[in-house]
Structure 1
Amino acid sequence: MEKIKCSVGIFAHNEAGNIIPLLEAIVNQELRETEISEIIVVSSASTDGTDQLVSSFAETHKNVKLLTQPKREGKSSAINLFLANAQEDIAVIISADVIPAQQTIEKLVSAFKNPVIGATGGRPVPVNEESNYLGYIVHLLWRLHHRMALIYPKLGEMIAFRKVMDSIPKDSAVDEASIEAIIREKGLKLKYIPSAIIKNKGAENLADHIKQRRRIQNGHLWLKAHQHYKVVSQDSGILLKVVLQELKEKPQTFFKLAGAILLEVYCRLLGSWDYYVKGKNPFAWEIARSTKDLNQPKRERK
């Protein structure tokens, strides 16, 4: 059987702490029906040694290539640079602050045996401790993301797609959702693959959490206005359904859940204020630093 070849794109800005573990996780993927032809790291104005680490890694891994941008122009701009250089028809894009499980790329890419599938996404699983309230909120948001994606595919953190476009809107602050919109516009389908695990890290302080959620709301409003596409998390009916599922499964968390909902409403109001009143479009967003320590020691979770 002929293997499905893919180009992998990694997007980094000052990711020296995670870039080598990520590259090692990619080159050590368990592949059967899939082949990674190339790994392209796009480093945008990194000043912490990220570029030097990638260059050194590339010396012993010939399919790894480094592209640099002299200034940060947003992740969508970096994705466009990757698309202009990627050789294969299937692209996999990964933020440099996550780690995929060993079979994640195989699961995401092998789905393209079905010609109607245009994009696939896995399940992000945070490494944050749930013992504190913000950690609970981070896990809650990704559980709700999972529940929504089971109803209506929602892709994030790491996705694979057919390269049916030369570029995506460079002003988009929600690049995966912009790709979803293009794929659907082409008449292709999205597929959520919950067994394709991607480890990530949510914010560990309230300021970073609000910063992230505010920016995402702003980006989704921009997406609706400019690409005429509404992500499933903007659908109040589906949101209510997954919240009720969560409450039914974990009724003891009622008050914590209520607080998390109020915080999310606050963040969405801030994002809406930024978009409608201030006219902001944070496509080159301020980094939330507390989300970057993915490899710090964690206690085993049951």
Structure 2
Amino acid sequence: EKNVGILIDSLLSQDDFHRLIHEIIVVSSGSTDKTNRIIQKYVSKNKKIRLLRQSKRNGKASAVNLFIEHAKRDILILVGADLLLEKNTIKKLLAPLRRHHVGITGAHPIPVNNPKTFMGFIAHLQWQLHHEISLKKPKMGEMIAFRKIFKQIPSSSSVDEANIEPLIRGQGFKAVYCTNSIIHNKGPERVTEFIARRRHVYFGHIVTKHEYGYEVSTLKSTTALISFFKIFKPSWRYVVYAPAAIFLEAIARVLGFLDYKLKLKTHTVWEVTPSSKNLAPSS
């Protein structure tokens, strides 16, 4: 509810909107707030926008599969609700797909969190590491464009982008990380929410590796540590906040691993992280 109208506005204001965007499909899953009413106002004003409703939250994979089923074009763009786009984000994201050997592209997330705060520092560190790793081995996340060459992703998936990657790459296509396709997100402002989100993501990546035979580039802790030393800055925040961030990530990964090994949670349905919903810059 807090961001959906802003997101749709940022989609409608994209460069070359009428040429690049055939339709906007919004999937609303189990919404109990004003989300559907907000979207319906846009639907009534713009014929390119469609609203698909799910009566309950069945997980993001279910919403993604519904979107794929109803989408009419050969190239699709998957956008999370809690994002803001710059004017040329989609234009830059689609550009590499003009080459026939490219099957999937990923945008470059930059958080709106205040990097001077503890949780803001963690958010920026996380996505700086994602950026550094993706420069060498693209990791899709937050917003992707891809060729519609499969019918669905596993219904139990908790990390949709990570499941789409092997479906595209397995058919001989390449992945491209678009550093100039900028999107803005917001990391959790509470420690408990950060751990819950990272636990969820790590669980999904383990499942993708062990059950589907595909390892995302950010899965190995050693890869993240090497990238960390590349971006390390001689400041007190890196000395004080970074070890704490590594500790919290370690906790989340242990919990995610236990969830997988002991079948404690499936993570099909995301836990809501309220502090990451309002994309107004943190103070």
Under TM normalisation by the shorter chain, which class is it?
A: over 0.9
Q: 1:191 corresponds to which residue?
A: 176
Is the 8 Å Cα contact of residues 107 and 140 (structure 2) preserved in structure 1?
yes
Instruction: Indicate yes or no: 2:108 matched with 1:113.
Output: no
Question: Per-residue CA shift, 1:173-232, capped at 9, x if unaligned?
Answer: 000010011111111100001111111010001111111011111111111122111111
Distance 1:32 1:70, change over 3 A: closer
* Partner AA of 1:92 in structure 2: I
Write out aligned runs for 1:264-275 (5 A).
264-275=249-260
TM-score computed with the length of structure 1 as normaliser: 0.90
Q: 1:4 corresponds to which residue?
A: none
2:23 is paired with a residue whose SS is: strand
| Residue 28 of structure 1: how far off its partner (Å) | 0.7
Q: 1:256 aligns with which of 235, 241, 264?
A: 241
2:249 is paired with a residue whose SS is: helix
Is the 8 Å Cα contact of residues 110 and 127 (structure 2) preserved in structure 1?
yes
Is the 8 Å Cα contact of residues 34 and 106 (structure 1) preserved in structure 2?
no
User: Following the alignment from structure 1 to structure 2, what is the Cα–Cα distance between the partners of residues 270 and 191?
Assistant: 31
Q: 1:9 corresponds to which residue?
A: none
Distance 1:153 1:297, change over 3 A: closer
Q: 1:176 corresponds to which residue?
A: 161
Q: Give identity over the alignment, percent.
A: 39
Q: 2:87 corresponds to which residue?
A: 102
Is the 8 Å Cα contact of residues 89 and 181 (structure 2) preserved in structure 1?
yes
User: Following the alignment from structure 1 to structure 2, what is the Cα–Cα distance between the partners of residues 158 and 250?
Assistant: 32
Moved over 3 A (4+): 249-252
Q: 1:159 corresponds to which residue?
A: 144
Q: 2:220 aligns with which of 208, 215, 235?
A: 235
Residue ranges of structure 1 left out of the alignment (5+ in a row)? 1-15
| Residue 298 of structure 1: how far off its partner (Å) | 4.7
User: Following the alignment from structure 2 to structure 1, what is the Cα–Cα distance between the partners of residues 5 and 180?
Assistant: 24
Q: 2:120 aligns with which of 135, 140, 147?
A: 135
Distance 1:255 1:297, change over 3 A: closer
RMSD of equivalent CA atoms: 1.5
Instruction: Indicate yes or no: 2:58 matched with 1:73.
Output: yes
Is the 8 Å Cα contact of residues 113 and 281 (structure 2) preserved in structure 1?
no
User: Following the alignment from structure 1 to structure 2, what is the Cα–Cα distance between the partners of residues 257 and 286?
Assistant: 25
User: Following the alignment from structure 2 to structure 1, what is the Cα–Cα distance between the partners of residues 123 and 151?
Assistant: 34
Q: 2:187 aligns with which of 173, 188, 202?
A: 202
Is the 8 Å Cα contact of residues 122 and 192 (structure 1) preserved in structure 2?
yes
| Residue 114 of structure 1: how far off its partner (Å) | 0.5
User: Following the alignment from structure 2 to structure 1, what is the Cα–Cα distance between the partners of residues 72 and 124?
Assistant: 36
Is the 8 Å Cα contact of residues 95 and 158 (structure 1) preserved in structure 2?
yes
Question: Per-residue CA shift, 1:20-74, capped at 9, x if unaligned?
Answer: 1111100110128951000000000111111111111111111000000011111
User: Following the alignment from structure 2 to structure 1, what is the Cα–Cα distance between the partners of residues 83 and 100?
Assistant: 28
Is the 8 Å Cα contact of residues 114 and 281 (structure 2) preserved in structure 1?
no
277-286 vs 120-129, which deviates more? 277-286
* Partner AA of 1:212 in structure 2: R
TM-score computed with the length of structure 2 as normaliser: 0.95
| Residue 297 of structure 1: how far off its partner (Å) | 5.2
1:234 is paired with a residue whose SS is: coil
* Partner AA of 1:87 in structure 2: K
Q: 1:59 corresponds to which residue?
A: 44
2:20 is paired with a residue whose SS is: strand
| Residue 243 of structure 1: how far off its partner (Å) | 1.3
User: Following the alignment from structure 2 to structure 1, what is the Cα–Cα distance between the partners of residues 154 and 130?
Assistant: 24
Distance 1:268 1:297, change over 3 A: closer
* Partner AA of 2:12 in structure 1: V
Q: 2:272 corresponds to which residue?
A: 287
| Residue 120 of structure 1: how far off its partner (Å) | 0.3
